[in-house]
Amino acid sequence: MAGDIVLLVAALFSAVLMFRQTEDTSEEQSLLLKVSSLALVFVAVAALGRLTLTGSGQDIETLQRMLDNLALYAALPLLATVMLGQAMQWHWSRAGWGRWLLGLFALFELCRRMELGEAYTLAMGIAISLVLLGSALRLQGIHARLASAGSGMLLAVAVCSPLLPVPPLPAFALSTALAAALPLFAFALLSQVKQPSPQ
């Protein structure tokens, strides 16, 4: 429970921090901040669900699983894509982000039906980590690079470690790793959108 509280606070703090900057940036970068804020709200809702959906029953378990899936298979890939877009100076429209989100839903459902859930989760965790580590190389400023790389490594721990053949970390440690990754991500992204685009 303590880990979920920490995660809820970190996700909401990061989401509010980024959303408050949307008016002071260009339209393209404002959209990146809004997409990131939405993804962080998904994570916060999943954490809130674990804190409040404490009853027993199949419906409650199904709802909590849906919220967790939203955070893991939609929110975290969205965050990684935002950082990659910022690093590479790629700008998508609102419709483009919407299509990407639908594509993430479809990919998850396809892998679930093919009973590739664990393999997909492991691949997703590795891909997110590599994207954030790779993006760090193209960010401006050592602190932003370290924050993006640290976020990527912490997300890898939170997502991948339960699936690896090693002694499992406690749930509190996994939630705390994810919680620590989110403000690092927010710091890295905000430090970039406030700088002029490279020519």
Looking at residue 28, its pLDDT comes to 83
The secondary structure of residue 198, as a DSSP letter, is: P
Q: What angle do CA 91, 139, 188 make, to 5 degrees?
A: 90
50-104, pLDDT tens digit by residue?
888 877 778 888 888 899 999 999 999 999 999 999 999 888 899 999 999 999 9
Q: Which amino acid is at 137?
A: L
Looking at residue 165, its pLDDT comes to 78
Q: How far is CA 7 from CA 61, 62, 120, 146, in A?
A: 20, 21, 23, 21
**d(Cα 91, Cα 77) in Å, to the nearest integer?**
16
- Sequence-distant (6+) residues with CB within 8 A of 17 are 186, 190
**d(Cα 137, Cα 148) in Å, to the nearest integer?**
9
Looking at residue 195, its pLDDT comes to 57
106-161, pLDDT tens digit by residue?
999 899 889 888 899 999 999 999 999 999 999 999 999 999 999 999 999 999 88
CB distance 189 to 166 below 8 Å: no
pTM for the full model?
Answer: 0.88
Looking at residue 198, its pLDDT comes to 46
CB distance 132 to 80 below 8 Å: yes
Looking at residue 61, its pLDDT comes to 85
Coil/strand/helix, residue 175: helix
